[in-house]
Amino acid sequence: MLICEALVIEQDDFRLTADVTFNTGKITALIGPSGAGKSTLLAALAGFLAPASGRVMWQDMDLTAVPPGARPISAIFQDNNLFPHLTIAQNVGLGLRPTWHLTADERACVERALSSVGLAGLGGRKPAALSGGQQSRAALARVLLADRPVVLLDEPFAALGPGLKDEMLDLVQSTLGVAGRTVLMVTHDPDDARRIADQASLVAAGTVSAPVATQAFFEAPSPALSAYLG
């Protein structure tokens, strides 16, 4: 379980509190208005922001003081998920081991990860030679390969068209979801949550509410959620 224990994040005069548990192996959608702190919560979980108080726990391990690269957490951001000067294979390989050179075995793993997201044979290209959807797939391949139990998705597909976005969401479910990763996905589109999330959590008015099964979340919306959905 990924646990936010009395977590308080402060930035200038913005304040977000979270006291919630995200179950292992579930895809959770974080929904809320922009500026409510969804991305800020992910930044704190990933280790980019030190919380003002409280703890982040994974199973029995306290992550609060662990640097980002050493946490059992992978992330895909809104943009800049690939280094433009490295090939796709090199980018994906960084998920395995942060170095230039990979062994033959490792290269085979990279190739398998690329095929699993539909990019077989494209490892030699640079990101600029790929479409936006293919770039998202490459980032996903790296996360698959990194084999860290928690995955944070900070609206990585927001720039894609609706058809492509749905395709990517399905791919997330069929890869990360099937692999039993604990996925936290930021979105402001309820349809994204309905499509793949097991549960959903509202981030609004400075608090993160406890996750609820997706169907129940939308069928019996809390007042705050009703206000957001309009």
Partner 1 sequence: MAQRAVAIAPRWPGAAAAALVLVLTIGTLAAVGWRAEWQRGLSPADWAAIRFTVTQALVSAGLSVLLAIPVARALARRQFRGRSVLITLMGAPFLLPVVVAVIGLLAVFGRAGMVNSALAWLGLPAISIFGFHGVVLAHVFFNLPLAIRLILQGWLVIPAERFRLAASLNAPVGRLLEWPMLRAVVPGVFLVIFLICLTSFAVALTLGGGPRATTVELAIYQALRFDFDLGRAALLACVQFGLCVLAAAVVWRLSLVDTMGAGLDRTVQRWDLRWPVLDYLMIALVAAFLFTPLAMVVWRGVPGLALLPAEVWAAAGRSVIVAGASALLCTSMALALALRGGRMVAITGVLPLAASGLVVGTGAFLLVYPFINPARLALPVTVLVNATLALPFALRAIGQAVEGIDRDFGRLGASLGLSRWGWVRIVVLPRIRRPLGFGAGLAAALSMGDLGVIALFAGEAQQTLPLAMYRLMGAYRMEAAAGAALVLLALSFAAFWICDRGGRGNADL
User: What does the binding site for partner 1 look like in residue numbers (CB under 8 A)?
Assistant: 11-12, 43, 46-50, 67-70, 73-75, 77, 80-81, 83-86, 94-95, 98-100, 126-128, 146
Closer to partner 1 by Cβ: residue 90 or 199: 90
C-alpha triplet 2, 196, 5: angle, nearest 5°: 15
> How far apart (Å, rounded) are the C-alpha atoms in residues 184 and 154?
8
Inter-residue contact 212 to 224 (CB < 8 Å): no
What is the CB neighbour count within 10 angstroms for residue 18?
A: 26
> How far apart (Å, rounded) are the C-alpha atoms in residues 177 and 60?
22
The minimum distance between CB 216 and partner 1, in angstroms, equals: 33
Q: What angle do helix axes 132-146 and 162-172 make, rounded to 10 degrees?
A: 10
Closer to partner 1 by Cβ: residue 7 or 75: 75
Q: What's the burial of 103, exposed, middle or buried (CB within 10 Å: 0-12/13-18/19+)? A: exposed
The minimum distance between CB 152 and partner 1, in angstroms, equals: 9
The minimum distance between CB 13 and partner 1, in angstroms, equals: 12
The minimum distance between CB 187 and partner 1, in angstroms, equals: 19
Closer to partner 1 by Cβ: residue 86 or 164: 86
Closer to partner 1 by Cβ: residue 11 or 226: 11
Closer to partner 1 by Cβ: residue 15 or 194: 15
Instruction: Determine the 3-state secondary structure of 61 from DSSP.
Output: strand
Closer to partner 1 by Cβ: residue 95 or 190: 95
First to last CA, the chain: 32
Inter-residue contact 95 to 176 (CB < 8 Å): no
Structure tokens at 150: 């928690």
The minimum distance between CB 48 and partner 1, in angstroms, equals: 5
> How far apart (Å, rounded) are the C-alpha atoms in residues 193 and 184?
11
The minimum distance between CB 7 and partner 1, in angstroms, equals: 15
